[in-house]
Amino acid sequence: MCGIVGYTGHKPAQEIVIESLKKLEYRGYDSSGIATYEDNIRICKKEGPIANMESVLSESTSTTAIAHTRWATHGVPSDANAHPHGHTDNSIAVVHNGTIDNYLSIRESLESEGYNFLSESDSEILPFLISKYYSGDLVEALNKALHEIQGIFTIAVIHENHPDEIVAVRNETPLVIGVGNSENFVASDIYAILKYTQQIIYPEDYQIVRVTAESVELFDAELKSIDYNVETVEKYTEVSEKGGFEHFMLKEIFEQPKALQDSLTELLVESPLERLGLNWKIGSISIVACGTSYHAGLVGKYVIEQLTAIPVSVSYSSEFRYAAPVQGVGGLLSSRPLVVLISQSGETADTLAAARAAKQQGCHTVAICNVPGSRITREVDGVIITKSGQEIGVAATKTFMTQMQALYALATHLAFNSGSLDHPQYKLWESEIRRIPSKITQVLNNCESIKKLVPHFTRAKSVFFVGRNINYPLALEGALKLKEISYIHAEGYPAGELKHGPLALLGEDTPVVAIAVQDHTYSKLMSNIEEMSARKAPILTVCQKGDQQVPKISDYHFELPEIDPVLSPFPVAVFLQLLSYYIAHDLGTDIDKPRNLAKSVTVE
């Protein structure tokens, strides 16, 4: 989940890679560092945010540099464990994203040969191992080192004998090459380098890349030169600027109407659903995702099953491939199962592994992803691209909304194809989905009333979020948002389950957020709220406009704009995001960079 960027060209490299690295800080912010070519390799690295490293950085005229921002896996955040790692003779520097599973045995072997280690990081074996095999060709040395290591990784290396050269390789973690005019780039993410180039190369696993100012070469495992494609990617205008907002998360919450509108245009005008080829009788659907994307998948389950009657299961990516085979494989059902994989980055390690497992089982795979050209989009049978733009806040907001939107669109597409919806019904659904951006704008415009609710939560040790039916996943998402950024313990529950244990925890210091929409579960939820209130728990209920019952049984309430209950997850999500944001803001936490977390989870 670390961020890597490198530059070689005709300009001072240090300024370029630092600016680019800041666009990757969402991937990790425990420490950062940079290596430049001076008379030899100079490394500067520091625990904490990039600003800490910048404060001790000397001037440089080097035109080659690699840099790194870290999310700790092996070794606590510290100056010593920060990247780049180098050799004691200052001849080499290496940055690494991923994990090296057999680093301990390699480290013991290198120590027996006289190498001295200064860190706890698994990555420090790399400069010593590459130096050991170096005999004039950095590509050859890296290739030999790859035969020793096991794990997942992106590695970038510079050497004092090759002042304008960066050598890099990947295995199951992201690496892109940016092609410029007499300058070239390596990075973990296209967003880091889009300011400088839109010409991108996507290396495959174990393809070693040699980048100089004037050339890019790719080599296979036998070090034979291989051809590659250069792709032109869209240059997003929503770059890493806060635009007057105090935090990226708040900016991204307010960008949601535009993100939904842009994604809707993609879904309805570009017609990606037609290109998915879902024209057979689908017997079952599995939705696979992690974190917030998993909650979007749970919403999708309700919608797809309601519109199509196709049974849908939702699995965590990290558990999917360890479970029983997908129904429909091996004769369990008569048709080929559909597996929908959701990943904001397209590089989520567990979701990628799940995609491969599904394909091995003979399933048809479709990815919902926010990053064109990312790894998962290249490994599945079909792709739905969301148009959220770059999301920098670690807590997902606008990507969650566009993922839900994609699932609603997929549900209506499947229902129309199967005949569950006729053309007028399909157009009615399409019309309702088009209105969602205006509905959530109404919630955004009411943010001041949400701020007034904050004092009821800031002293809480624990908060419960409850909902039923399609809004149960929103209870899970609300709890996740609150604990991610405020560090208040929170749990999401189906409202009917509280009586089976959790009621024991309720009291005057345990607020409850109840999501109450007037669907077929409404009367049951009202009874659940009465049960919680009887335990003296403060109740905040999110309800529909004009609800007469909720104010009578809740301590506080917030009215949603008028909307069909089946579409209520969209405005509910905005309310929950803003509530969590304002609570965290009041507590003074680091909202965009919550402790221990990172945005793109590229390790399992």
Tens-place pLDDT, residues 280-294: 889 899 999 999 999
Same structural domain for residues 262 and 195? no
User: Which residues make Cβ contacts (< 8 Å) with residue 253, sequence separation at least 6?
Assistant: 397, 398, 444, 574, 577, 578, 581
Q: Is residue 270 part of a domain?
A: yes
Which CATH number fits the domain that encloses residue 176?
Answer: 3.60.20.10
The Cα 87–Cα 160 span in angstroms is 11
For residue 555, being part of any structural domain is answered with yes
pLDDT given for residue 132 in this prediction: 95
DSSP annotation of 33: E
- Residues 353 and 604: beta-carbon distance below 8 Å: yes
What is the C-alpha to C-alpha distance for residues 428 and 560, in angstroms, rounded to an integer? Answer: 21
340 and 447 Cβ atoms separated by less than 8 Å:
no
Give residue 600's pLDDT: 59
Active site residue 363: no
Q: Which residue is associated with the tokens 């520091």? A: 46
- Number of folded domains that form the chain: 3
Which of 20-24, 41-45, 322-326, 361-365 has the largest mean confidence?
41-45
Whole-angstrom Cα distance, residue 350 to residue 322? 11
Query: 283 and 392, same structural domain?
Result: yes
pLDDT band at residue 596, thresholds of 50, 70 and 90?
confident
Give the end of a domain, one of 434, 453, 485: 434
CA torsion angle 294 518 570 572 (round to 10): -90
Residues 118-148 have pLDDT tens digits of: 999 999 999 999 999 999 999 999 999 999 9
Whether residue 237 lies inside any domain: the answer is no
| Exposed / middle / buried, residue 112 (Cβ in 10 Å: 0-12, 13-18, 19+) | exposed
- Alpha-carbon distance of 157 to 31, in angstroms, equals 19
Q: Are residues 276 and 210 in the same domain?
A: no
115 and 211 belong to one structural domain:
yes
Q: Token pair for residue 392?
A: 């920098």
**Coil vs helix vs strand at 65:** strand
| pLDDT reported for residue 601 | 58
Is 543 annotated in the active site? no
Domain boundary among 232, 258, 274: 232
Structure tokens at 292: 């917030």
Task: List the one residue out of 284, 381, 271 whose CA is nearest residue 329.
Answer: 284
**The two structure tokens encoding residue 305:** 């099953």
Position 178 pLDDT exceeds 90: yes
Query: Is 211's pLDDT higher than 70?
Result: yes
Residue 454 has a CB neighbour count (10 Å cut-off) of 17
Residue 429 and residue 550 in one domain = no
Task: Mark whether 421 and 450 lie in a shared domain.
Answer: no
Give the CATH number, domain containing residue 278.
Answer: 3.40.50.10490
The β-bridge relationship of strands 31-37 and 41-47 is: antiparallel
107 and 160, same domain (yes or no): yes
**39 and 116 share a domain?**
yes
Which residues span the domain enclosing 535? 442-598
Residue 462 domain flag: yes
Same domain, 380 and 448: no
Instruction: Indicate whether 421 and 446 sit together in one domain.
Output: no
**Residue 321 located in a structural domain:** yes
Residue 581 inside a domain? The answer is yes
Sort residue 223 into left (φ over 0), alpha (ψ -120 to 50) or beta.
Answer: left
pLDDT band at 505 (very low <50, low <70, confident <90, very high): confident
Q: Tell the residue number behind the tokens 């464990």, with chain if given.
A: 81
Last residue within a domain, chosen from 381, 408, 434:
434
The residue annotated as part of the active site, out of 2, 363, 369, 543, is: 2
Query: Does this model's pTM top 0.85?
Result: no
Helix (H, G, I), strand (E, B) or coil at 73: coil
User: Is residue 604 situated within a structural domain?
Assistant: no
Quick check: is 144 in a domain? yes
The predicted pLDDT at position 415 comes to: 94
Is residue 235's pLDDT more than 80?
Answer: no
Same domain for 447 and 426, yes or no, is no
Query: Residues 299-337: pLDDT tens digits?
Result: 999 999 999 999 999 999 988 877 756 554 443 444 678
- Pair 283, 361 in one domain: yes
Q: Phi-psi region for residue 16, left (φ > 0), alpha (ψ -120 to 50) or beta? A: alpha
Cα 382 to Cα 369: distance, rounded to the nearest angstrom: 11
pLDDT-based confidence at residue 238 (cuts at 50, 70, 90): very low
